Structure 1
Amino acid sequence: MSKKWNGRYEKSKIKRKRHFVKKSVASVMLLNMLCITALPTLAFADQTAPKTATETAKPSTSVSAKSSIPSVESLGLNVKSAVLIEPTTGEVLLSYNADNPLPPASMTKMMTEYLVADLVKKGKMKWTDTVTVHENPSKTIGSRIFLADGDQHTVEELYIAMAVGSANDATVALAEHVSGSEQEFVKLMNETAKKMGMKTAYFINATGLSRSDMPSKFRPTEDREDVMSAMDAAILAKYIVTDHPDFAKYTSKQSYKFRPRDKNPIINYNWMLEANKNIPNFKAYAYPGLDGLKTGHTSNAGNCFTGTAVRNGMRLISVVMGADSEAHRFTETKKVLDFGFNNFELKQSIPAKTEIKDLATVPIKKGVETSVAVVTDQDVSFMVPKGTDAKGATVKTQVIPEDKLVAPIKKGSKVGTATYTYKAEGMDKAQVKTVNLVAVDDVEKGGWFRLFFRAIKEMFVDLFDGIKNLF
């Protein structure tokens, strides 16, 4: 037998031994796994398929708008600035010098209204609480209800006087009641403006009065004035209508008798209230669906108005600043609101309880089930030109870190987010809306016996995969 042949024989022999070892190891492992199958079937109860949501988003191509949207210039607005937004999406539908900071006059009171209503909502103050009037409000001029030092009224009475009659003295009394002094309240106003994302707003008082018109004893030391852009006013109004949806209970009042002895009631400065359609002096200005929000006027600011109206379930917020007359702030607002209602609509893109195609379930640790089906917690709607659908939105998901998704998990618990992006045909910018992903079912915590055998099963599955890769 030649050396060459002997070498080949030895190599073949070694190769056969290696193959035998591999087969032997595999056989032992398979035998162990067969033994495991004899254990109680409870260990494998988790193999049942997770539940899935029944509603799935089906993207489709957008349809062209039926008609082109007119330009802002075509409206011929006779104001210094204007803006129109839809509050639930934040979509800006019209913008005319909207970021220019201007004197807002009594539209400043919207921040006071928001803060007072927020404290009541949070239970830190009651509408029935008694407010004692001090020197500052008693000396405040302009629109007022002639409060005297020492007068006492409820929070709600003063709030209505502020919202309906734009009463400066009532506003200052509320500010002092909340923070101890008007200037301390102003700090809260400016802090809140930043939190809301208002970029130009700066307040020196709670009323919107010019600094020179404030009682000299209570003026701020810095020589500044209230300023706010139309966009910032719209943002503030958005927070009012979304955080305090009962706002119209006060802002839509046509009149209010502050004291039983008062000869005449306070008349709402907002001529555009829908309720005014039967009032001879105001019916030419009454606007369908309009129920707020705040007028403003000073010599520096001109005539301003933040209005809001709802039609067919869609609410819009408009702001005009620097109109040249009391009447024109309303006629210009009508142009802005008509532009919105005539050319746009709010369309649902994704219904609530929709399953995300690539994220039907998320893993759950230490549960009876190893995963849970997830769906969106609310619908997703976008502003679109009339005649356009809102389908075809793209989505990005983000799941809560695994170490946080530990049983027990309650049905409806947040497990992540879904961010939808949609670019409507005929509109300049893409719209983005984020909703929560929530668990479809409860996931109870698994018992130690179940979790023990699940761990054994997972160990052998991993081991088998490792052996399989040897071949």
Structure 2
Amino acid sequence: MVDKSVKKNKRQRIQRTLASLMLFNILCFSVAPAVSLAAPNELATADTTKAGEDKATTEKATTGKTKPDKVPSVDQLGLEVSSAVLIEPSTGEILLSINADQALPPASMTKMMTEYIVAEKVKQGELSWDDKVTVGENAAKTVGSRIFLAEGDQHTVEELYIAMAVGSANDATVALAERVAGSEAEFVTMMNDTAKRMGLKTAHFINSTGLSRADMPEKFRPTDDKETVMSAMDTALLAKYIVEDHPDFSRFTAIQSHKFRPRDTNPIINYNWMLEANKDITNFKAYAYEGLDGLKTGHTKAAGYCFAGTAERDGMRLISVVMGTKSEGARFKETRKVLDYGFDNFEVKEVQAAGATVEGFDKIEVKKGKAKEVSLVTDKAITFVVPKGSIGKNITFEAKLDSANITGPVAKGTKVGAVTYTYKIEGMKDAQTETVNLITAEEVEKAGWFSLFLRAIGDFFADLFDSIKNLF
């Protein structure tokens, strides 16, 4: 009986001690500041499942076993081209690619680089549309498509630019190049430097026009025997720079016809038969394409018939390039196939809003802060090109925090990690990926010394309680 009584008293003393420790711990935490958590937007894509447990390191998630989104094969288009490409410029996504990286003669699509550089000079204030340009010998002797400029003629930058963009006038193009750089050779250096800056991998220019070396005025030919080349992909990327850096491009490229001189009998007719405005023109209405407002045709014996086109429908712009078609009409027929494929099968969709949480990475510990943790959100939206009508299935993500915790004070918007989203569409060669930062959703002030002191005591007794609990 005595042994039982002693054991009972001992157990009661231990219980009272534990109860006292718990009470002290509760009192400590009642003084410490409460944790403040934001309530950001939730993930806008389908439900995800975690693939790992360590939240301070890389973790992947997937939408599960849903069937992947799918688009038709481009093979069914039966394209008769040497190369072709279709891109969506806001995301840079490649929707169609046929020999797209093969370097080929681009003919007058070369002038897109001249157009870009001249427009850039105007944008930067180094040139004005009203500036007068005096025509030199090189421009006057340039052959092919032209407006028959004579040496010494004077025209404004804008007049020559329209002649270049609408009528593909080689002489006007050379005159502009010489006005910008002093000589066409120096302008070509600018063209190649700009191509490198843009990341064009195959582009090499020998003149401002796209003429073959043998067709240039002999006195002004480059000394080496290289020719101008540019892949369909590089042409599309160049077009992307034009539409994004100069969104008013159609002010020139959509002009149907233009009378260069008051005395000219016939106006310059735009070589781009696909302009939407041509739907009411008898000779062109069979080619007119809804939403199309640019960009540049091209033709030489070496290049065949080429066309870089762009059209916008329902808020989505597409850029297409076809090279090496067999006739003037064929380049537009093939372009229609390419653009129809894009508009019929794809749309741009925001699959996750900015400020969304990421499962498993929705908060991080804050040391020495008034709050012990802070919410994390993405710093910008995720946009993908998806099959038309789709919500974007099978999106996976891989996230990583820079460290397991951060130290207060912490400013709102502090980067603490990153998350990469990947989206694969069956029928497309490459998956789409986009990486965004994980940032703090709110500010966390540094805790005062007394709060930190009480927190340390609380942590100590909490750890002690856990240790004692494990004895029983």
The alignment's TM-score, normalised by the length of structure 1, stands at 0.77
Residue 407 and residue 328 in structure 1: after superposition, are their counterparts in 2 closer, same or farther (change >3 A)?
farther
Q: Is the 8 A contact 2:364 2:404 kept in 1?
A: no
**1:22-421 to 2 correspondences below 5 Å:** 47-59=34-46, 60=63, 62=66, 69-72=72-75, 74-361=76-363, 371=374, 373-384=376-387, 386=388, 388-397=390-399, 409=411, 417-421=418-422
Residue 164 and residue 49 in structure 1: after superposition, are their counterparts in 2 closer, same or farther (change >3 A)?
same
Residue 377 and residue 468 in structure 1: after superposition, are their counterparts in 2 closer, same or farther (change >3 A)?
same
- The residue type paired with residue 315 of structure 1 is R
1: CA distance, partners of 2:412 / 2:153: 52
Q: Is the 8 A contact 1:270 1:292 kept in 2?
A: yes
2: CA distance, partners of 1:405 / 1:437: 16
Q: Which residue of 2 aligns with 1:432?
A: 433
1: CA distance, partners of 2:406 / 2:259: 56
2: CA distance, partners of 1:420 / 1:251: 37
2: CA distance, partners of 1:278 / 1:252: 14
2: CA distance, partners of 1:167 / 1:303: 17
Residue 313 and residue 459 in structure 1: after superposition, are their counterparts in 2 closer, same or farther (change >3 A)?
same
Query: Relative contact order: is structure 1 or structure 2 higher (C-alpha 8 Å, sep ≥ 6)?
Result: 2
Deviates more, 1:274-283 or 1:146-155: 146-155
Shift of 1:188: 2.5
1: CA distance, partners of 2:95 / 2:419: 25
Shift of 1:468: 7.6
2: CA distance, partners of 1:263 / 1:455: 88
Report the 3-state secondary structure (helix = DSSP H, G, I; strand = E; otherwise coil) of the residue aligned with 1:101: coil
Report the 3-state secondary structure (helix = DSSP H, G, I; strand = E; otherwise coil) of the residue aligned with 2:306: strand
Shift of 1:406: 9.2
Deviations 1:138-164 (A, max 9, x none): 332222233344444443333222211
Q: Is the 8 A contact 2:368 2:452 kept in 1?
A: no
Shift of 1:203: 0.9
- The residue type paired with residue 69 of structure 1 is P
Report the 3-state secondary structure (helix = DSSP H, G, I; strand = E; otherwise coil) of the residue aligned with 1:380: strand
Deviations 1:351-392 (A, max 9, x none): 3442323333568899987846533423412233x4544133
Residue 117 and residue 32 in structure 1: after superposition, are their counterparts in 2 closer, same or farther (change >3 A)?
same
Q: Is the 8 A contact 1:132 1:153 kept in 2?
A: yes
Shift of 1:226: 0.3
Shift of 1:278: 0.1
- The residue type paired with residue 272 of structure 1 is M
Deviates more, 1:197-206 or 1:261-270: 261-270
Q: Which residue of 2 aligns with 1:18?
A: none
Deviates more, 1:183-192 or 1:394-403: 394-403
How many residue pairs match? The answer is 435
Shift of 1:304: 0.6
Q: Is the 8 A contact 1:50 1:373 kept in 2?
A: no
Q: Is the 8 A contact 1:287 1:334 kept in 2?
A: yes
1: CA distance, partners of 2:217 / 2:130: 28
Residue 277 and residue 129 in structure 1: after superposition, are their counterparts in 2 closer, same or farther (change >3 A)?
same
2: CA distance, partners of 1:451 / 1:206: 67
Deviates more, 1:198-207 or 1:292-301: 198-207
Percent identical among aligned pairs is 57
Q: Which residue of 1 aligns with 2:12?
A: none
- The residue type paired with residue 427 of structure 1 is M
Deviates more, 1:152-161 or 1:206-215: 152-161
Q: Is the 8 A contact 1:104 1:226 kept in 2?
A: yes
1: CA distance, partners of 2:461 / 2:286: 82
Shift of 1:334: 1.4
Deviates more, 1:47-56 or 1:330-339: 47-56
1: CA distance, partners of 2:203 / 2:25: 73
- The residue type paired with residue 43 of structure 2 is T
Report the 3-state secondary structure (helix = DSSP H, G, I; strand = E; otherwise coil) of the residue aligned with 1:308: strand
Give ranges in structure 1 of 5+ residues lacking alignment: 1-22
The alignment's TM-score, normalised by the length of structure 2, stands at 0.77
Q: Is the 8 A contact 2:68 2:393 kept in 1?
A: no
Report the 3-state secondary structure (helix = DSSP H, G, I; strand = E; otherwise coil) of the residue aligned with 1:295: strand
- The residue type paired with residue 385 of structure 2 is F
1: CA distance, partners of 2:453 / 2:24: 15
- The residue type paired with residue 431 of structure 1 is Q
Report the 3-state secondary structure (helix = DSSP H, G, I; strand = E; otherwise coil) of the residue aligned with 1:56: coil
CA RMSD of aligned residues (A): 4.0
Give ranges in structure 2 of 5+ residues lacking alignment: 1-16, 47-62
Shift of 1:465: 7.9
Q: Is the 8 A contact 1:57 1:356 kept in 2?
A: no
2: CA distance, partners of 1:179 / 1:76: 44
- The residue type paired with residue 172 of structure 2 is A
Residue 460 and residue 429 in structure 1: after superposition, are their counterparts in 2 closer, same or farther (change >3 A)?
same
Report the 3-state secondary structure (helix = DSSP H, G, I; strand = E; otherwise coil) of the residue aligned with 2:114: helix
Residue 296 and residue 460 in structure 1: after superposition, are their counterparts in 2 closer, same or farther (change >3 A)?
farther
